[in-house]
Structure 1
Amino acid sequence: MTKDLAVVLDCGATNIRAIIIDKTGKVIAKYAVNNNSRPDPINEEYTIWDLDEIIDKLSYCSQKVIELVDHKRIASIGISTFGVDGAFVNERGDLISPVISWKCARTIPVLNNIDNYFSKQDLLMKTGVGSFSFNTINKLIWYKENQEETINTAKYWLFISSLIGHQLTGEFYTDHTMAGTSQLCNLVSQDFDDEILNKIGLSRDLFPKMKYAGEQVGLLHAKGAQLLGLPENIPVKSIGHDTQFALFGAGVDLKNAVLSSGTWEILMVQAKEVYLKPELEQYGITVEFDPAKGFYNIGLQWMASANIEWVKNTFYSDLPEDKVYQVMIEDAMNSKLTEDIYSPKLQPDQDINISAQLTSSRGDIFKSCMQSISNQLKKAVSILEEVSNFKVDQITVVGGGAKNAYWNQLKANKTGLRIQTIQEKETTVLGASFFLFEESPEVIRENYKYDFSSFTPEELEVNA
């Protein structure tokens, strides 16, 4: 029988899902439940993930969808998760530490004092990863400074995708795309960096063998089969960090950038080379490992629709939710404003500034807000082109911001690039599934029929 189905187990920060998808990218069945972090029983001000709860929920979701298909059609299983989080395990794979959540406050002081070990700029240049408190390196330094006995008794550190994978196969491994989020890896070798590990007193042996996207990590064993409601010996393949597969599913390549547009906007490109400069650290740049070995995903992020929500709540609070955005867009389109009067909050440590006149309308303010965020996109494109040494031809927009036609047209006008929005809601699962069949993921993606809407630059705006 043809092996034309893949199972993607997706553990997100808000939802846990099991999805069956066929080789054409069609979702055959899916089931989802909420995911929630928990207070750490040791200190309720800290935040952790309950791995047993996650496994139970994945088991429940899987059994809901598996009963709807012929098991013999399943080619393989992949696990996608958020990045950076993980835990120490013993030689049996049992947890000897909690899975510290990326939301946890315990690592904030570590980042504030990271200069005790490295400068932020040195870390950026060596690893490509920007300085965020949730980075794996900060969790491991926290253990070094507070619970060193945990490190001394551990067999391995496993990222959360590998913790789940071990429960299904009994194998110890490191997903390559997860390692790329950790700030522990060398940008050139795309492997754990000995100098970084030595400075924080860790052994390379703590990190099991690296597995690359689509590479088999093991076979579903008896316990794993029982958990998922499947027969034994189905291949389990490496997937890992959800962002990388969302990008691949959205069509990122060496000419097409992808913009995830929501509360934050994150512009990412695929690149063969990276040319970083220390001063880029201030812009929140980060480089992660692309699913294709030896390639990179370079990204910049800034606060976007958070500014729109602020304008809405400050100047349009008199309108009902079902009409407010339509009115805001109409006001902006009718505005005659020619100069920007709104300075956006792009990073958490920045403030919003408005230089309005007595004659300025709320439509003027919203128009300027949208223009200023679109100008940030133009700046980000310029930075990423310099860092990756290639020219972006077009930008594919995914996420909530893709629904705003006015905003998408502004993006096209300000950047001078073609903007296309993608209608697929499951880009992470779609991208992951491309790596779970025998054919190359590039070939499968090439045959997928995307549903795009396009926005081209308006000549007047481009030349303005």
Structure 2
Amino acid sequence: MAHSARDLRRDCYAAVDIGASSGRVVVGFVEDGRIHLEEVHRFDNRQVRRGGHDCWDIDLLYGELVRGLALCKEAGFAPKSVGIDTWGVDFVLLDADDNLVGDAVAYRDERTQGMFEVADAIMSPEELYRRTGIQRQPFNTIYQFLALQRENPEQLEAAETFLMIPDYLGFLLTGEKALEYTNASTTGLLNAETGAWDETVLARFNIPRRLFRNVTMAGACLGPVKPSIAEKIGYDTCVVLPATHDTGSAFLAVPACDLPAVFLSSGTWSLLGVENRSPLTTAAAYGENFTNEGGYHFRYRFLKNIMGLWMIQSIRRELNGITYVVDEKAIRKGRLHQYMRVEGLGQEVGFEDLIRAADEAECAGVQASIVNVNDDRFLSPDSMIEEILEACEETGQAVPQTLGELMLCVYESLARCYRDAVEGLSSLAGHGYKSINIVGGGCRDGHLNRRTAEVCGIPVYAGPVEGTALGNLAVQMLADGVFPNLRAVRAAIAESFDVQKVEP
């Protein structure tokens, strides 16, 4: 249905929330003190193989973003502002004419293999952690820079500007450049104490300082969209910087219950932790491999990155014969496949089928095998199914023989990893926690919620599902004066959306 300019709702805001697997455009508005959401567009995210690397299809993402904003008008909305959030660590480089230098290589690409050893020869991992507070992970931006120095030094020579993925999408909409704090903090190049680029790290790792403009805090207005964009989408709007790192937005939307509480943003990654007022970069925190990512208004998300639903998403794609990287060779068929075609799975396998298979295996008394979900072997395997089977075999455990046994292995492994992370948090904080508050798509997984509560021994509060989009919208509403402070917007979120309690 077409809407005229006169009947468009303008007291609303649009959140562009793009994850590693999919993206969405969600409109939010407030009525009678309650926040209402309407999803106007959802699209798949994908990677493409270019120059021997797995890369993000930036043109696709930008096209879907603009299409989603145009669909807002078809749905009767003309948002006052737009906010964009994505995953962290990945970036683009621009030359002096603002053209892309190279591709937007994805964090799951293998180019950073061996970069730990290169980095450790420059600065000890303990010192790097004390300075940046960021968890040691092979895909961190700092290691991507080291890989780029070795493979494509000419790109660094030609580059004049560094932008992270949401920053670049905002630049395409407005022509204005900014590096938002929460996403910049994931690079391993920002000083944890000051929130500014760490000059010592940049110098020691020979990363050109000229590439980095000073960071900007969430809530700042990037500017109006270009006239050509306004014409394309059918209305004028501006871009406001939310917490552009999706977990930073998700943490904003957690209606914390039973304090002190642990927050868990559950999606492709599981980000489990707490919100602190200062970074914790002690030897003990380093030993537990917790990260200090930037949060809204210079808060700190002290958390652990856990492989999360990526394993489940990969299993589903594999069973359906879908590749994650376009033009990749066909996925190897795992040895499990020939007898996974059980009754009821004759067509496309959905997440509900995987959950049901795990429930049935549990009811049958299956003893789950356990794998280390944070092992790098699960980051980007040719076959997730094969990798799980091999991990079980290598550790002398029973190798899953059915879909239910496979899913039970993944679920139980995730729940135990959550428990270990909560215990690590408790040890570092010197006190226990009363609940786990889960937001994001993973909060709909009843099997995982139940096993998390049982294994961790504390209640789980599940919801809201659209936590990241809500946090994105919350910053825009705060910037526009709809709510006076963060406490008020979190109270409105708790009032507006159902949260399910799962007892241990």
Structure 1 counterpart SS, 2:188: coil
Q: Is the 8 A contact 1:184 1:196 kept in 2?
A: yes
Q: 401, 415, 421: which one pairs with 2:456?
A: 415
Query: Among residues 81, 92, 95, which one is paired with 2:100 in the alignment?
Result: 95
Select which of 422, 437, 443 maps to 1:396.
Answer: 437
Q: Which runs of structure 2 are paired with 1:252-401 in the superposition (5 Å)?
A: 255-261=260-266, 265-278=270-283, 284-302=289-307, 306=311, 317=340, 319-320=342-343, 325-326=355-356, 328-330=358-360, 332-333=362-363, 335=365, 342-348=369-375, 351-352=391-392, 353=395, 373-388=414-429, 391-398=432-439
Contact 1:76 1:237 in 2 (8 A): no
- Show CA shifts across 1:254-283 (max 9, x none): 733223456764322212234344465565
Check conservation: 1:303, 1:345, Cα contact below 8 A.
Answer: no
Equivalent residues of 1:273, 1:388 under 8 A apart: no
Equivalent pair of 2:9/2:76 in contact (CA under 8 Å): no
Q: 2:166 aligns with which of 148, 157, 161?
A: 161
Structure 2 gap segments, 5+ residues each:
1-7, 317-335, 346-352, 378-390
**Following superposition of structure 1 onto structure 2, how do residues 97-136 of structure 1 map, counting pairs within 5 Å?**
97-136=102-141
Identity between Structure 1 and Structure 2 (%): 21
Query: Contact 1:49–1:100 (CA<8 Å) still a contact in 2?
Result: yes
Q: 2:500 aligns with which of 433, 453, 456?
A: 453
Range 291-300 or range 377-386, more displaced: 291-300
Indicate the residue corresponding to 2:46 in structure 1: 36
Aligned pairs for 1:172-187 (under 5 A) are 172-187=177-192
Amino acid aligned to 2:300: F
1:250 aligns with 2:291: no
For 2:77 and 2:368, the matched residues in 1 are separated by 60
- Worse-matched range after superposition: 5-14 or 293-302: 293-302
CA distance in 2, matches of 1:100, 1:29: 29
Does the CA-based 8 Å contact 2:372-2:413 persist in structure 1? no
What is the alpha-carbon root mean square deviation over aligned residues?
A: 3.8
TM-aligned CA deviation for residue 348 of structure 1: 2.3
Q: Distance in 2 between matches of 1:371 and 1:60?
A: 40
Give the unaligned 5+ runs of structure 1.
Answer: 458-464
**Following the alignment from structure 1 to structure 2, what is the Cα–Cα distance between the partners of residues 127 and 389?**
23
Q: Could you tell me how far 1:158 is from its partner in structure 2?
A: 0.9
The structure where strand makes up a greater share of residues is 1
Give how far 1:334 is off: 6.4
Instruction: Give the distance between the partners of 2:57 and 2:337, measured in 1 at CA.
Output: 39
Change (3 A) 1:186 1:370: same
Partner Cα distance (1:218, 1:365) in 2: 49
Structure 1 residue matching 2:13: 3-state secondary structure? strand
CA 1:229–1:297 in 2, change beyond 3 Å: closer, same or farther?
A: farther
Q: 1:432 aligns with which of 463, 467, 472?
A: 472
Match for residue 240 of structure 2?
236
Query: Given residue 59 of structure 2, which amino acid in structure 1 is its aligned partner?
Result: D
TM-score (norm 2): 0.76
| Matched residue type, 2:121 | N
What is the DSSP-based 3-state SS (H/G/I as helix, E as strand, rest coil) of the residue aligned with 2:186?
Answer: coil
After superposition, what is the alpha-carbon deviation per residue over 1:48-81, rounded to whole angstroms, capped at 9, x for unaligned? 234333322221222122232253xx33111111
**Aligned partners of 2:407 and 2:15: how far apart in 1?**
41
Superimposed CA distance per residue, residues 281-317 of structure 1 (whole angstroms, 9 cap, x where no aligned partner): 565532211123133342242567949979xx69994
Alignment partner for residue 28 of structure 2, among 12, 21, 24? Answer: 21
TM-score for the superposition, normalised by structure 1: 0.82
What is residue 386 of structure 2 aligned with on the other side? Answer: none
Q: 2 CA distance for matches of 1:34 and 1:143?
A: 28
Mapped to 2, the partners of 1:94 and 1:124 lie a distance apart of 33
CA shift for structure 1 position 132: 2.3
Contact 2:250 2:439 in 1 (8 A): no
In structure 2, the CA distance between the partners of 1:391 and 1:283, relative to structure 1 (3 Å rule), is closer
Alignment partners' CA distance in 2, 1:29 and 1:263? 20
Asked if the contact 1:218–1:237 (Cα under 8 Å) also holds between the matched residues in 2, the reply is no
- 1:307·1:344 contact (CA, 8 Å) conserved in 2? no
Residue type of the partner of 1:191?
A
Distance 1:14 1:374 in 2: 22
Q: Structure 1 CA distance, aligned partners of 2:106 and 2:154?
A: 20
| Runs of 4+ in structure 1 over 6 Å off | 307-310, 361-369
Alpha-carbon shift at residue 109 of structure 1 (Å): 3.5
User: How many matched pairs?
Assistant: 445
The Cα shift of 1:347 comes to 2.8
Q: Give 1:363 deviation, angstroms.
A: 9.6
Q: Is the 8 A contact 1:9 1:78 kept in 2?
A: yes
Against the structure 1 CA distance between its residues 90 and 389, is the aligned structure 2 distance closer, same or farther, given a 3 Å change threshold? farther
* Partner SS state of residue 179, structure 1: helix
- Tell which deviates more after alignment, 198-207 or 249-258: 249-258
CA 1:201–1:226 in 2, change beyond 3 Å: closer, same or farther? farther
Q: List per-residue Cα deviations over 1:294-343 (Å, max 9, x = no partner).
A: 33342242567949979xx69994743567754643553564x9xx8844
Using the alignment, how far apart are the partners of 2:235 and 2:430 within structure 1? 46
CA contact (8 A) 1:412 1:418 kept: yes
Q: Deviations over 1:71-117 (max 9, x none)?
A: 3xx33111111211112223443223322222322222334432232
